[in-house]
Amino acid sequence: MTLRVFLDAALTNPISADGDFSNPDTGTFNGTDGDSKDRQLWIANSQAALSAAADASQTQISLTRPVFADGDVLVVGFEHLRVFSGGGTVTLTVERGYAGSTAAEHIADAVVYSALDHGDVTVSVYDAEGSDERQWIRLAVDQAALDTATDGASLVLGAKPHDQVLTFWRRVTVPAGTPVQAKIDLGLEISAIESPAQAGA
């Protein structure tokens, strides 16, 4: 899955993946009296910007962030590239003009995306262990809709081309009388149908 959930509209602050607590979607709640907090979140393909311009022939590109793996297919502008080596770093060796696209010059700061489009993007709530508190979370396409959303229900966001960003809201409501605890098994899961982004699109 190449989709990431971000805490900011600039897409610089990704939420860490399941089991990795380096940057979770977190909050502190008053369980004695009951407490509720809303947050807007963003969904986007794995992406980084070129840290330097690239001409149409060079096979090594430099990125601002290490977000891609060996074998990944990328898209920048109208060109597709396949990563030969350097995955997990900011310097990648790539095959240019992949999948029938045409190699082209790219300016510094051009955005490089994972070359996958997504259909039926759905956000679901999960509770990995112990008692089930999925009903603490509501999901909606905008903040106002949280008031009438169903507790614990999934949210279908639909199709997402590789260069499009989706956004949604989540509300966490901790009921009054909840004992003090560090609740780390309650989270959000993103599912989607992946398909290759069309070359030259």
- Per-residue pLDDT of 84-136, as tens digits, reads 999 999 999 999 999 999 999 999 999 999 999 999 999 999 988 778 899 99
Does the structure show a pLDDT above 90 at 156? yes
Average pLDDT over residues 51-80: 96
Residue 23 has a pLDDT of: 81
Q: Supply the pTM of this predicted model.
A: 0.89
- Confidence at residue 128, expressed as pLDDT on a 0 to 100 scale: 82
Torsion of CA 11, 15, 17, 19, to 10 degrees: 170
Candidates 41, 4, 47, 45; CA nearest to 162 is: 45
pLDDT at 19: 65
Q: Which of 197, 178, 194 is nearest to 186 (CA)?
A: 178
In angstroms, rounded to a whole number, what is the distance separating the alpha carbons of residues 158 and 126?
20
Burial status of residue 109 (CB atoms within 10 A of its CB: 0-12, 13-18, 19 or more)? exposed
User: Can you give the residue ranges of every domain in the chain?
Assistant: 28-45+117-194
Q: How confident is the model at residue 186 (pLDDT cuts 50, 70, 90)?
A: confident
pLDDT at 119: 96
CA atoms of 161 and 116, how far apart (whole Å): 7
pLDDT tens digits for range 157-174 = 999 999 999 999 999 999
Mean of pLDDT values over 58-81? 96
Mean pLDDT of the chain: 92
Measured distance CA(193)–CA(170) in Å, rounded? 22
Residue burial 7-40, b: 16+ Cβ < 10 Å; e: rest: beeebeebbeeeeeeeeeeeeebebeeebeeeee
pLDDT at 82 over 80: yes
Region of 57 (left: φ > 0; alpha: ψ -120 to 50; beta: rest) is: alpha
Q: What is the mean pLDDT of residues 64-74?
A: 95
As beta bridge partners, residue 146 has none
How do residues 26-40 score in pLDDT, each as one tens digit?
Answer: 889 999 999 999 999
pLDDT of residue 199: 55
What pLDDT band is residue 24 in, cutting at 50, 70 and 90? confident
pLDDT given for residue 144 in this prediction: 98
